[in-house]
A and B are shown apart, each in its own frame.
Chain A
């Protein structure tokens, strides 16, 4: 047990005050700050050297009116003095006015002068006359007002001879009272002993460079902090929670041997739809499902002129793919229209027509996509899709199922998977992935399939291509237990700051 200088000061003060003193008294007598006395008394109580007592009491204090009278005298004193100085006799109203008091004080003042025996009233034909034959001496009312005017005191500490006077002034609203808790400190016998046995330790709070260099740190004591108390919080720089999740997905796909693909947000309907064997009057290409551009509205298809020819023929009559085709007149005008990418599969087309394409190959993309939707709990107009392809002569439907199963387990943390037939204009066979996760039940995760020959052959690809797309936004929502998809693009900074990183 070591005591600091302040602790010893507080103990000595208590001893000198007879063992007990209020906190205010201790502050006054030691000259320490409130906080320092509070800290010392906390330490001392913990050590059993003082006891803290809290007592409720009524304290008497001087009102604003009381302070006025303290400075200028009670009204009856002021009027009595005026009358006495005027020769001991003056009309009541004149006296009140000369004393600087309003006329409605007349009855109060005359009442008190009479009651205190300082003078008397004479009724004459010209009005009431006040007689004060000699200067009254100071009375109890004035005595108690002087005392309390300087410092408020507990009502119990008012001397008994002034008790009645205090009550009078309370009634006159010159004094007032309030309930207050008074904290008192009482020194214990161990405390008294400690004063004699303990030498104070010299403490400092800040370790300075000088102290380190000079070696002074050895000669001082660094104040111990309360390490358990709360500290201010910080807002660190960190990843956006959803982008963090997408990074994790990317890492997993890269680990599975997938190479990332990128592409523009603005596409032609040629890349976005035609290359995927979606007929030009397909419902998914209507303005309800696809954002078309007003400005600019068209692109030059020149860079893809070889492919355009083959795609056009495939749509019209199947070209050399062995298909019947859709049997309509293909429009290059329609193909050149610009749209916002509406699905990640457009990026798979980009990968397939890229000169860097390798077979065998695995490619993926996390694609920002756009569809004309109103925002609600389950729809965004701008969203993300995870999309990928696998190309190799050996691929089969079983491999497609194998890829889906791997994703469900690795990326979505699924416990079980099952497959359902699905339909997309660009894949055949098409498979829907359903994954089961404990606590969530069966959930639809994404669509997939093997690209139709009508898709791959015009692009110059002669091997089977497995294509898959995962509802990555939904996967994240499940991961984070988010029930409103708009949260992904929230502007709520506090939410972004507070999301856990692991």
Chain B
């Protein structure tokens, strides 16, 4: 519970479980509370009978949106509040469980206006037209997808197909263009509507069936009577499917397993009490075994572990005594982290301030502004900001980026960072996260000797043998740049930055810098 508003006689409740759509409505929460507080025993919603409504399913829907499940709920006559609750449930389910209507979407219709048999079929986007909900003017399917707000929002689900899903009735009236919009004539449900046809279409047969169960169960909570309908699938040897399927499922739960997982010693009867409060009718079938029923709308129960959690929640987890695990393990840092720590220690001793900068940045920073041209790097498909579009391949640009923001701060400025970079392995499209170390000194008299001294001190402190040979690099000044080599392998670069690069960054003092791969741990 989030908050209690006594003045308005209301509470707001936070529902975290994205796998628990049966409590995404006022009706569902009331039902769960009743069993939790012991006001009512958990009971499956009943099927009042079979309706005459039949639905034929066109085989051409196969690759588009093959499944449909329908049911009629009679005697509902919903109040304004009830309608509001159901529409909000419909929206939440479409959004989350239905994956923004891609996997499943729900439609409500006035059952009395609809003539059996329904045809779930396909329509040509340009030849078929109807008046969409909220409008009296006929539009073609394509016009709806291109112009109607719902068409713009959800059209992408079907627009790549030649023909689009269409639901019509026995008289050929259009009920809806699933999963976009209902017709204004049949698909407008109001507080006076006595009998409601609920329809769910989608791409996943379980999701479609589950969605229908949860919706009709919520309608039944307000006194509605649930009637089933029959779907006939043309492409499955005229297979007939009756919906909704309101049967409970059941699972065996081992008492000792549950106790082990909870760290408790509950007796079977205690466990059954908790399970019932959690909405599961349960009974003991052997010394260590309970048979636990999950009512049709409890789609969150996939494994007996889910029942164990329901026991814990029904009990209140705060009643369990926390206990530190009684196992003995040896803690420690990775050799890599130990290495970073050693390097940081020496750099700090040399008077350098440690920095933390973003590794997700932009090629403008670590390629263009550094005078590089043919640099390969890891690039995002869906960047959110123009300043964060690619993983840096080296650190030095991140340090310069910081210096640029600090031209008003006392010099000398000496900074370093040990941080992750992502590089592409030569000739292959494989990525590798590599930690590097970079250091920069900027002041009126900074220069090669100063930075080279730091580099030498750093590497000799960790006992690494290395040499520095002349090299050239677009970011550095020729004749004052060295390649650092250890064990015949390149380790990094050291030198004075090119004045052009210094200006590029809006800086005006000499800069000397080095950047290295993290040196391997020296063999002593």
Contact = CB atoms under 8 A, between A and B. Distances in A.
B351 A236 contact: yes
B317 A260 contact: no
A239 B344 contact: yes
Interface stretch (B34-42, B175-183, B354-362, B469-477): B354-362
A339 to B, nearest CB: 9
Contact of A240 (B204, B336, B355): B355
Contact of B431 (A338, A361, A420, A466): A338
Interface string A280-294: 010100010001111
Contacts of A375: 385
A280 to B, nearest CB: 11
A48 interface: no
B445 interface: no
A18 B79 CA distance: 110
A441 interface: no
B309 A421 contact: yes
A408 B434 CA distance: 32
B331 A381 contact: no
A429 B309 contact: yes
Nearest to A397: B262
Contact of A296 (B306, B344, B424): B424
Contacts of A338: 431
A94 interface: no
A237 B302 contact: no
Give the interface centre of B103, B341, B347, B429 by most chain A CB atoms within 10 Å.
Answer: B429
Contact of A396 (B262, B327, B354): B262
B100 to A, nearest CB: 8
Given A253-B331, A299-B430, A428-B306, A401 B391 contact: no
A489 B357 contact: yes
Contacts of A361: 329
A362 B263 CA distance: 19
Contacts of A255: 331
Contacts of A358: 329
Interface string A405-443: 110000000000111111101001111000000000000
Contacts of A489: 356-358
Interface in A83-129: none
A176 to B, nearest CB: 42
Interface in A11-57: none
A453 B303 contact: yes
Interface string A228-257: 000000011111101100010010011111
Nearest to A266: B431
Contacts of B323: 396, 398-399, 401-402
Contacts of A237: 347-354, 414
Contacts of A254: 331-333
A235 B381 contact: no
Interface stretch (A58-66, A179-187, A365-373): A365-373
A401 B349 contact: no
A395 B318 contact: no
Given A327-B206, A381-B385, A242 B334 contact: no
Given A266-B431, A396-B260, A421 B317 contact: yes
A340 B413 contact: no
Give the interface centre of B302, B379, B402 by most chain A CB atoms within 10 Å.
Answer: B302
A274 interface: no
B106 to A, nearest CB: 18
B388 A381 contact: yes
Contact of A374 (B96, B204, B347, B385): B385
B382 interface: yes
A264 B262 contact: no
Interface residues of B, number: 88
A262 interface: yes
Contacts of B96: 283
A454 interface: yes
Given A237-B349, A397-B262, A421-B313, A340 B333 contact: no
Nearest to A328: B204
Contact of B354 (A239, A264, A327, A368): A239
Contacts of B403: 493
Contacts of A146: none
Contacts of A430: 309
A194 interface: no
Nearest to A398: B263
A2 to B, nearest CB: 40
Interface stretch (B14-22, B48-56, B115-123, B497-505): B14-22
B379 A294 contact: yes
B358 A238 contact: no
Nearest to B18: A423
A266 B317 contact: no
Nearest to A292: B381
A497 interface: yes
Nearest to B405: A491
Contacts of B422: 264-266
A254 B337 CA distance: 12
B327 A360 contact: yes
A392 interface: yes
Nearest to B361: A382
A253 B331 CA distance: 8
A291 B356 contact: no
Given A291-B380, A401-B317, A452 B303 contact: yes
A266 B304 CA distance: 34
A169 interface: no
Contact of B430 (A262, A296, A396): A296
A491 B415 CA distance: 12
Given A259-B329, A488-B356, A397 B99 contact: no
A324 interface: yes
A293 B322 CA distance: 42
A452 B305 contact: yes
Nearest to B14: A420
A502 to B, nearest CB: 15
Interface stretch (A130-138, A196-204, A212-220, A315-323): A315-323
A493 B102 CA distance: 49
B325 interface: yes
A464 interface: yes
Given A262-B334, A293-B380, A493-B402, A340 B354 contact: no
Contacts of A318: 302-303
B385 A327 contact: no
Contact of B433 (A242, A265, A397): A265
A242 to B, nearest CB: 6
Interface in A475-502: 488-489, 491-494, 496-497
A242 B431 CA distance: 28
12 contacts: A254-B333, A266-B433, A291-B380, A294-B379, A322-B303, A362-B329, A368-B359, A396-B262, A403-B324, A429-B308, A453-B303, A497-B409
Given A281-B103, A296-B430, A405-B322, 9 more contacts: A236-B351, A240-B355, A261-B334, A283-B99, A358-B329, A368-B420, A396-B263, A397-B261, A489-B358
Q: What 9 pairs between A and B have smallest CB-CB spacing?
A: A396-B263, A398-B263, A296-B429, A401-B322, A254-B331, A429-B309, A360-B327, A264-B433, A323-B303
